[in-house]
Structure 1
């Protein structure tokens, strides 16, 4: 096994080389002197700070109040539910992370996030192959989250659906320490301790938390420990260095697996009974195999930005390691499947150690052209991950859920190298933007377990993704825009792991390519209401779809063409007497545009609702001491497999309520909140496991549940 990067090694490299490292561009909310709704400055899409109203793309900003007030701040789904075009489902399964899809991309992912790029403080939370983990986001220190959908996401490389960027707060004066304690249903509790401040030109933010839950579903208990540190330094008036480190530890996180419709209908919390267990016929699959996952994730990154007048040098570098061991729910080793005439086995225990690192550097040049301002960014992005991966039988004798004989031993390396250029010309009411990115991804497998044949090999995927956008200011308060791009989505390492029913590296998968067009309007109405609306169409070739999924192991194949057509509307209003409203509506027609196997043309893409809605009515007093809100979340039915022949997860509407309070006493600041989710105790399927071969598609959402939280902050 190769020598592994540990965080102290990475830290020393970054500190030694800090003069050449660089941060993401800064973005902040525009001041609101009159209590009116104002624009927010964003950097997603153009990599240049703009009011979101002036970006020719669908982009929403989730501010710190929505992320943190009245929330336990464990899952990004808490805050992202208010973003149109985005479906973020809490599986009630911390072993598999959230299920995130953007305009239908990513819904097929059996675990983690696929089809949507995740970035935190300019550092990718997605690996070079496109697989990401939203659990690494530290929501306790988040200042805002920017969500980009549509054509402009193609400028960020290998994915198709969108980009989710989290930006943490900077340390500032006066220094403070804060303790947050939250508890709720199903044995849920969290303790978070943070400190922040500034000493001269150095700012700091430190945070540590521990989350624990018994879980709503049977066999779904989890413990999550996170730590975060951020240091900002301004060596000169024109430069800024930011160093960010974070860690995530989840030990023996239980995996409840999916359930059949019959089991869900009988008891939404129940797991699936293992019919082959003659010794204990009432024991579930999850209990018999003790399905679980342990995760240790550590990373550190540094960013440095140097301005030269309007020009700017920007460099980001990062590195880390991720260790995972997962116990799955099967022991049959596909004894009838062969590769080159040799029986193949890979076992029911996955064990890998990953090292990853990367760098993104770019140069922004600004000059005048044809009476307008021309801003051009040229950059290059490189990322690499290396896995020492083993697979074991998950039984010894008659004992299941333990590490048995070795069945897989290999090294998997993924690298990506993406040069890109993006330019923007602005003059009067016109803004024209164009970009070009060349993505090349390499995958290599070095098989060390040769008793079942040599599965070594390599793949290379490459594609050029152009982007065009045009925005016109009809009036000072109304902008219209249109954009188009070619998208590229290579299969992830996990999607390449298994062929057919589950064994042998899948060297036959091809990347999916797409053509993405969008048109929209962004309007301010009487300075009290913001309206954003967009229509879009996405045509995809060689769509990656689930081929087989069982017991936590999923294989994939290429289908033919797919079509996504839809509309998104976001409406934010400030009303008299302290009331505000927010509505986010998505309508999406996502279908297979070609027939294949038993799938008819026009069948809906699994895991993708045809409509979903978020609506909120909120109130707070003039001094912001007390606030309350009523939320509604609604979704249409969701199919769980390609043919649409199995029972779809029915549509649902649920209501949530919250109340907040704040007090001050000298240097102390106190906050309390109470939240009641699913007010009317609706029984519904919260998410589905796409294409599960045993028809265990359904993952139940909790019934009525509550949270109570208190915090105390002392300012020095």
Structure 2
């Protein structure tokens, strides 16, 4: 009998020791959390009970993941035993957000630059067809969409020289340079599926990112898979909108991969404004060892969109849906197919030294019939970026040194034809193009005291382009022409002082430069403006941040001086040309306030959040003489002096949510003389829906929304200084959308 009792005791002891017993709690309230989805590596999905408890049978250390709506996901290794696990409610407190701006991961309160963070939650507040609405809720940032998929980015007024496309702003995607070496960025090749978060550095950041006075946009799509997930979305809406997405995320060993395919189509609000985009992405994550981590990315994009063109005031009043005369007959449009592949490695030599290296290769097939001509380009490019991070001490204080370099080059066969009814006619001129840019960068961050962080950065930049004219039907000279810009040193000095655990002040003095792109030098009518100079800027900035409990507040004031400003004008044939136009003075203030009025994961209203963002950009031409006209003292073309964005977000226990956004935009000068303005307007967007986990594995969401609720007439991207008064690119009137999302976690 005693032996039997002893064996039973040993058996029960072994069973207890073969279990991982977990109790999951809210990190703020310390209350147990029910229905948390818990998954051990290689096991099935479990759920916590009403006491927050769950048991996992295991005799060895096991990797376990935790997920619950409204909380940050977590992954951790446990040995057999009893544990308490604390989950953090989803929060955007400045005291907890970590960003990687200027190549150093620090809490936002410790960063000494003006940085806007756009999260997945920001993207999901709108229709998810583009990045426009989510980016435009941030102070100092404006993205324009002149037609579906035709983007223009303005950070602190930097769209002055971008009549079309993205210029003067440096874009990275998963740490890889996405901006071409000629200074342009095909941002429209990405679908919103390919972006999870975006960090936007406002103002010149050349000390570590190279060319571009406007700022830097760091886009991230990578995520480390927790278990497996299969998901799909479908959306439909006004003007023939349809969008379908299929995604797969799979954990493999300690790494994994994720893949997605998305197709988005629309007929467009205006005549000749249809769009069709297909994007496939495959990403891999491979932790080779504790020291080495490898990531891969493959992006294949097929984009086709029509260009309706700008209207004059009479045409706008007659019918804002019409295309510019000639656009339909000439099939004004863009067809672009691109492949972008990258390889990155992080290697930790020691606790103090690590290296991050990325390499990329891309191809591009571009075709652009336009009212005046027909352009074809076929090209490829490659490049990379490598940085070393070294943590040490100086004078007994922490010192972080970052050093590295970036190099890019591209080769393009470019041909311009006549356009006869949307078909390429005889060749007008043809060139072989090469663009190269590169720079070395160094940065030191010294923790002078517990509260003071001093940053000193410097980069040495070089850039050049070659235009080898093969054909010129007008009889112009043939042969190779080169433009090599003098090496430019770009310094930055910045300070961050923490007033207490929840607030800080920061300041910086930074310079920047932006050489002309090949498209600005080589225009559509065949002329070459090799004398166009690089813009050079100097920015002074002072800011304050507060991140406490449910309140975030940020205020920034800046003064940016720009010399050799590149501006646009249009000749009598309607061709956009470029010139250096003296200097500008750009003074501004940017304010952002976010407040969580209610946060209660156990109540009916789980959270109620309010937010507002104000942008005051008071930009002037300082010295601008054009022929007999002196525009010195005029407001900078294309910049709204004041914008105000207000947001209300409500989420309830049954899963019902409402997102409300109001944006006021001040009147915008449309020509350098300041005689033509776009009227101010109020844009209201609304999204509502129901999102819920069903059981342990299924996620469902049904949603709908209304854009431009007030049915305002406005242009989201006017043409500046156009010939014939064609200023206006009418944006869609009131329109709706709706859809369904389904995901299965296994």
Pick from 198, 201, 208: which aligns with 2:261?
208
Q: Distance in 1 between matches of 2:562 and 2:639?
A: 16
CA contact (8 A) 1:108 1:690 kept: no
Deviates more, 1:571-580 or 1:223-232: 571-580
2:400 is aligned with 1:375: yes
Partner of 2:239: 186
Relative to 1, partners in 2 of residues 1:106 and 1:44: Cα closer, same or farther, differing over 3 Å?
farther
Q: Distance in 2 between matches of 1:373 and 1:612?
A: 41
- SS of 2:706's equivalent in the other structure is strand
Pairs within 5 Å for 1:613-624: 613-622=644-653
Give the gaps of 5 or more residues in structure 1: 1-27, 273-283, 331-347
1:188-217 C-alpha deviation (Å, 9 max, x unpaired)? 010000000211023111000111100011
- SS of 2:183's equivalent in the other structure is coil
Give the gaps of 5 or more residues in structure 2: 1-71, 75-85, 599-604
Pick from 86, 90, 111: which aligns with 2:145?
90
CA displacement at 1:81 relative to structure 2 = 1.4
2:737 is aligned with 1:707: yes
Q: Aligned residues, how many?
A: 648
Pick from 175, 178, 190: which aligns with 1:137?
190
Partner of 1:6: none
Pairs within 5 Å for 1:242-641: 242-251=295-304, 253-272=305-324, 284-307=325-348, 308-330=350-372, 348-395=373-420, 400-426=421-447, 427-451=449-473, 452-455=475-478, 456-461=480-485, 462-498=487-523, 502-525=525-548, 527-548=549-570, 553-576=575-598, 577=605, 578-597=607-626, 598-622=629-653, 625-641=655-671
- SS of 1:91's equivalent in the other structure is strand
CA contact (8 A) 1:211 1:223 kept: yes
Relative to 1, partners in 2 of residues 1:191 and 1:37: Cα closer, same or farther, differing over 3 Å?
closer
CA displacement at 1:298 relative to structure 2 = 1.0
Q: Distance in 2 between matches of 1:439 and 1:29?
A: 41
1:108-142 C-alpha deviation (Å, 9 max, x unpaired)? 31221111111110112211122112213342143
Partner of 2:111: 55
CA displacement at 1:43 relative to structure 2 = 4.2
Relative to 1, partners in 2 of residues 1:71 and 1:549: Cα closer, same or farther, differing over 3 Å?
farther
CA displacement at 1:310 relative to structure 2 = 2.6
Q: Distance in 2 between matches of 1:442 and 1:567?
A: 35
Pairs within 5 Å for 1:655-666: 655-666=684-695
CA contact (8 A) 2:100 2:106 kept: no
1:302-347 C-alpha deviation (Å, 9 max, x unpaired)? 11001121311110100111111111112xxxxxxxxxxxxxxxxx
CA displacement at 1:35 relative to structure 2 = 6.3
2:196 is aligned with 1:162: no
Q: Distance in 2 between matches of 1:125 and 1:167?
A: 12
Relative to 1, partners in 2 of residues 1:511 and 1:157: Cα closer, same or farther, differing over 3 Å?
same
- SS of 2:382's equivalent in the other structure is strand
CA contact (8 A) 1:152 1:483 kept: no
Q: Distance in 2 between matches of 1:36 and 1:301?
A: 32
- SS of 2:134's equivalent in the other structure is helix
CA contact (8 A) 1:99 1:107 kept: no
Return the index of the structure with the highest Cα Rg.
Answer: 2
TM-score, reference length from structure 1: 0.88
Q: Distance in 1 between matches of 2:542 and 2:520?
A: 33
CA displacement at 1:714 relative to structure 2 = 1.1
CA displacement at 1:437 relative to structure 2 = 0.7
- SS of 1:106's equivalent in the other structure is helix
Q: Distance in 2 between matches of 1:552 and 1:113?
A: 20
2:110 is aligned with 1:79: no
- SS of 1:523's equivalent in the other structure is strand
Pick from 269, 282, 290: which aligns with 1:237?
290
CA displacement at 1:263 relative to structure 2 = 1.3
Pairs within 5 Å for 1:648-659: 648-659=677-688
Relative to 1, partners in 2 of residues 1:713 and 1:660: Cα closer, same or farther, differing over 3 Å?
same
Pick from 698, 704, 709: which aligns with 1:674?
704
CA displacement at 1:498 relative to structure 2 = 2.6
Bigger share in strand: 2
1:241-298 C-alpha deviation (Å, 9 max, x unpaired)? 11011121123x21101111221122221223xxxxxxxxxxx321121211111111
Q: Distance in 2 between matches of 1:211 and 1:679?
A: 23
Relative to 1, partners in 2 of residues 1:419 and 1:37: Cα closer, same or farther, differing over 3 Å?
closer
